[in-house]
Amino acid sequence: MPADGNPRRKRQTKAEKRAETTEQILDVAEHLFSLHGLHGVTLKDVAKRVGVHHTLVNYYFDDKQKLFDEVFARRAAVTSERRMKALEAYDEETDGKPTVEGALHAFLDTDLDLYIEGGEGWRNYGALSAQVANTPEWGAVMMDQHFDPVVLRLIEILKKALPEAAEEDIFWGYHFVTGALMLTLARTGRIDKLSGGLCKSSDYAAVKARMARFMAAGFHNICKERPAEKKKAV
C-alpha cells in the first residue's frame, strides 16, 4: 500500500482500456439510436457524447452501420439465449403438455425481466428493437438473424398446447404478441396520456402481470373458431 494509506487503482492494460472504451461507445450509441434511429445519428454525434474525437470512434468501428449492428447484436444475444433456456426448461417441466399461457410466460416474462432489472441501458435497447422490428427495408433481416430460432421454438411449444389449431392461426397469434411487445418496448408515452397517468409506458412490471394472460386468451379465441368452421362445412 502507498505511504498515504490509499490503495492505488491497478493500471489498465491496453486490452482492458479498449474494452472499456468500446462499451462506453456502444452504450452512448445505443441511447442515441434509440431516440433518433440509424439515420438520425452520426459517428460525430456519438463521439461528442462520449467526449472523444470522432476518429477514435472510426478506429473502433469502421462505419456507422458496423456500430449499429454491434449495438443491436450485443443485447440480442443475451435476450435470445435467456428466452431459449426458459422455453426449453418449460417444455421439459411440462412433459410435452404445455399450456399457451405457460409458454407465453416463459417467452415474454424472461424478456421483460431484463427491462425491469437491467436499467436504462436495457430500456434503450428495447426502444431500439421496436424501431428495428418496424423497419421493413432492413429491420426484418436483423430480426430474422437474431430471433428466428427462439421464436420458432415458441411456435413448436404452442403447437403442442393447441394441437387442433390451424397452423396459420398460431403464427397470426405470435404476430399479434410480438406487435404488442414491440409497442410496449417503444415507450411512446401514449398510454400515459390516454389513461391520465393511471398507466405508464415504463411500467414493465404491470405489463408482465398482464400480457401473457391477455395474449393466451386471444390465442384460444382465434384457434377455437376453426373446429366450428369445419363442423359447418360437414
Q: For residue range 75-131, list pLDDT tens digits in order.
A: 999 999 999 999 999 999 999 899 999 999 999 999 999 999 999 999 999 999 999
Q: For residue range 158-191, list pLDDT tens digits in order.
A: 999 999 999 999 999 999 999 999 999 999 999 9
What is the Cα–Cα distance from 183 to 165, expressed in whole angstroms?
A: 27
Residue given cell 404491470 in the structure block: 206
C-beta separation of 127 from 182 below 8 A: no
Residue given cell 396459420 in the structure block: 168
What is the Cα–Cα distance from 164 to 213, expressed in whole angstroms?
A: 20
C-beta separation of 61 from 25 below 8 A: yes
Average of per-residue pLDDT values in the chain = 91
Q: For residue range 184-224, list pLDDT tens digits in order.
A: 999 999 999 999 999 999 999 999 999 999 999 999 999 98
Residue given cell 436483423 in the structure block: 142
DSSP 134-203: T-TTTHHHHHHHHHHHHHHHHHHHHHHH-TTS-HHHHHHHHHHHHHHHHHHHHT-SHHHHHTTTSS-TT-
User: Which domains does the chain possess?
Assistant: 12-61 (1.10.10.60), 74-229 (1.10.357.10)
